[in-house]
Structure 1
């Protein structure tokens, strides 16, 4: 499983460990990923995603998973998150249609 956030595409970064003697050795900076279940208000379903802690805070700040997905660009979302976004968009469109 790759270490990439499904909502923000935040991934592994590389850098150097620098000793007191200024010796440098390569190291990896891993994102703080957590497995969470996020509830969608529009579809009424719960989705299991692997997101970074920062993305989880952003989801709460924007008012839930639905609002986060609608405001985010498709390029930053994973394939699964794009599928969820389409499902949410379809559910929101269905709610806003006037009765025939």
Structure 2
């Protein structure tokens, strides 16, 4: 399992750990990933994702998972999140069953 956020694409960064004597050694900056279950109102189901804490704040700010996926760029989404985005857009554009008159 990769250390990459499913929604924002945030991944591991590398840098230096600088000691008091200014000696530099390699280190990794890991993203703060959380396993969460988000509710999709359009699909009427819950979705389990592994996202960063920052992405969770962004989802709340944008008004839910559906709004976040609609606004997100396809390049930064994981294949699973991209499939969810396609399902959400398809469900939004599908004509509702017309009432019998």
Unaligned runs of 5+ in 2: none
**What is the match of residue 91 of structure 1?**
91
Q: Please, what TM-score do these two structures have when normalized by structure 2? A: 0.93
1:93 CA displacement: 1.3
1:90 CA displacement: 1.4
Number of residues of Structure 1 aligned to a counterpart in Structure 2: 99
Map residues 1-100 of structure 1 onto 2, 5 A cutoff. 1-94=1-94, 97=96, 99=98
Deviations 1:35-56 (A, max 9, x none): 0001100011100000000000
Q: Runs of at least 4 residues of structure 1 off by over 2 A?
A: 96-100
Distance 1:81 1:38 in 2: 12
Query: Cα RMSD (Å) of the superposition?
Result: 1.4
Secondary structure of 1:99's counterpart equals coil
Q: Please, what TM-score do these two structures have when normalized by structure 1? A: 0.94
Unaligned runs of 5+ in 1: none
